[in-house]
Structure 1
Amino acid sequence: MNGSGFQPETFRFLGELAANNTRDWFEAHKADYLRFVRDPADAVRGRLVETLSRLCGHDLTSKQFRINRDLRFSRDKTPYNTHVRMAFWPQDTAFQGKDAQPPSFFLSVEADHVRTGAGCMRFSKPVLGSFLQTLETDNGDDIGDLIAHMTAAGFEMSAPDLAKVPRGFPADHPRSGLARHKGLAVWRDVSDIGSLQGANGHEAIARLFEPALPFWRWLMTLHAHRT
């Protein structure tokens, strides 16, 4: 089963963990975690790297985020994440965690749905400068059109980071709303988890990213021409 992808038991375990988020419960059920969550996730991630690389035309690498939560600065002291999250990004770029990311694909496996995303949650400073410069020019129309396409396909855009436009950007500019972002990403939830399970589930998951490919490629171009 471990090599066959996500199974109903994967989602069942995540739901049970959400209801019993304690170290004692997790340790008592660790064998189930390894069998139904960790091992299938490792297999799916390996296959997704290959499938997404073919889909986007770039060699990708990936990481899976830890099940243990970082409790140092959190009021919520539950010890475990109740999801499985992965990121995929081009091999020749650096993923710098929360500080800056290259254009990436994101996957979050939850108890009752799967969330797919694409983009950069935070631009590096040079890319942010290039992004703002692009928004002020006619080239900024492209990203507006892409986001409209994403919204029509059921994606949601990440929330703005700033209450006001950054200094130097015209407040009355038609793309001033986008200028309030320090990163740009789109997300979509899929509740039909049955179609994403089994040995070929990774292929169904990869297809969920297809509508976001033009958006991802626009961000790749932005990174390639960063100032």
Structure 2
Amino acid sequence: MAPFQGFGDKAIAFLKALDFHQNREWFLENRDIFEKHLKEPLGDLVEELTERFAKAGLPFKGDRVKSLFRIKRDTRFSRDKAPYNRHLSALLSVSGSKWDESGCFYVCIGLPGVRDCYAGVAWWSPRPALLAAMRQSIVDEPERFRAMVAALKKNGLTFSDHDRLKRNPRGFETVNGPDLVAAIRNRHFVVRMEIDPAEITDPALADRLFDFAMRARPLID
């Protein structure tokens, strides 16, 4: 495992140029910049975090091959036909698969204002049966849920309200209390850390991401 030395100083500039050009010929001409400044460092970061998470008893793992998402987009069902993403991202999970439903640690290096640079600990779009069970657990054990929220808040983290339902889901119509209503309307359970693009070249980014995962531990547990 190569220690994470930070992303290359051309990482964001490459993504900006890729956003402008968006063609295969330009990408192939500049692929060495992509590999050196983005893909290889992200692989190093995934493997370093996997090792550090294991030592700390955090359940997420990955590797430099399976954990990274492709820079090339699948445009078959998208209105946006641009062939390349404006970001590069990776996901660590309990099984090491990108499709694990047991929660994940996600990191994204992207263009400010487009996809941004950030990390998240999440249960993202759980399948319906799992989401219903999570909602029922909140209703059945409200004080346990509130204790988790309080612990996250103490650690400087709050749940994202992204894509939250406008109304209570079916079967939960009678739930009341503002905090419980907000919780059961969630489609996802996510805490997030913003990453300053100016700091992605710093090897200490790995330390900040590890600290974020530890602060998210009430949700993980």
TM-score (norm 1): 0.78
The answer to whether residue 16 in structure 2 is matched with residue 22 in structure 1 is no
Unpaired stretches in structure 2, ≥5 consecutive residues: none
The answer to whether residue 72 in structure 2 is matched with residue 68 in structure 1 is yes
The answer to whether residue 188 in structure 2 is matched with residue 207 in structure 1 is no
Paired amino acid for 2:118: R
The answer to whether residue 88 in structure 2 is matched with residue 80 in structure 1 is no
Q: Quote how far apart the aligned CAs of 1:199 are.
A: 4.6
Q: Quote how far apart the aligned CAs of 1:56 are.
A: 4.1
Query: Retained in 1: the 8 A contact 2:47–2:62?
Result: no
Q: Map 1:139-150 to 2 at 5 A.
A: 139-147=141-149, 150=152
Residue 178 of structure 1 is matched in structure 2 by 183
Indicate the SS of the match to 1:61. coil
- Cα deviation, 1:12-33, whole Å, max 9, x if unaligned, reads 2222222332223212211211
Q: Quote how far apart the aligned CAs of 1:192 are.
A: 5.9
Paired amino acid for 2:145: I
Q: Quote how far apart the aligned CAs of 1:127 are.
A: 2.4
Paired amino acid for 1:182: R
What RMSD over aligned residues (CA atoms) do the two structures have, in Å? 2.9
Q: Map 1:9-158 to 2 at 5 A.
A: 9-58=10-59, 60-61=61-62, 63-91=67-95, 95-96=98-99, 101-112=101-112, 114-137=117-140, 139-147=141-149, 150=152, 153=156, 155=158, 157-158=160-161
For residues 190 and 28 of structure 1, the distance between their equivalents in structure 2, rounded to whole angstroms, comes to 29
Q: How many residues in Structure 1 have an aligned counterpart in Structure 2?
A: 211
Indicate the SS of the match to 2:62. strand
For residues 108 and 183 of structure 1, the distance between their equivalents in structure 2, rounded to whole angstroms, comes to 18
Flag the structure with more relative contact order, 1 or 2, with Cα contacts below 8 A and sequence separation at least 6.
1
Residue 225 of structure 1 is matched in structure 2 by none
For residues 195 and 23 of structure 2, the distance between their equivalents in structure 1, rounded to whole angstroms, comes to 28
Residue 188 of structure 1 is matched in structure 2 by 193
Query: Retained in 1: the 8 A contact 2:18–2:27?
Result: yes
Query: Retained in 2: the 8 A contact 1:158–1:187?
Result: no
Q: Quote how far apart the aligned CAs of 1:77 are.
A: 1.1
Query: Retained in 2: the 8 A contact 1:5–1:40?
Result: yes
Unpaired stretches in structure 1, ≥5 consecutive residues: 218-227
Identity across the alignment (%): 19
